[in-house]
Amino acid sequence: MNDRWYESRWFQAFDEYTQRIILQYVQVSTVGIYRQWVMDEKKMPLEELIQLSSKLINQGIKNLR
């Protein structure tokens, strides 16, 4: 995953410390979302989970309205 991020021009515009924080946010967020889905006994369809988590990570919670 990190290799793809480092290839991105958008990502390269940030200094290395900001890059690490961005990667940490994405990694922790995705693992947390997956854990919650499993703890909820996978009641949401996987495709819906993928769409929701992608929207949250890419756009933030304010864009869920």
pLDDT surpasses 80 at 4: yes
- Give the mean pLDDT of the chain: 89
Q: What is the pLDDT of residue 6?
A: 85
Q: What is the pLDDT of residue 65?
A: 58
| Largest interatomic CA distance in the chain | 40
pLDDT surpasses 80 at 31: yes
Task: Find the mean pLDDT for residues 14-19.
Answer: 92
**Residue 4 · residue 22 · CB < 8 Å:** no
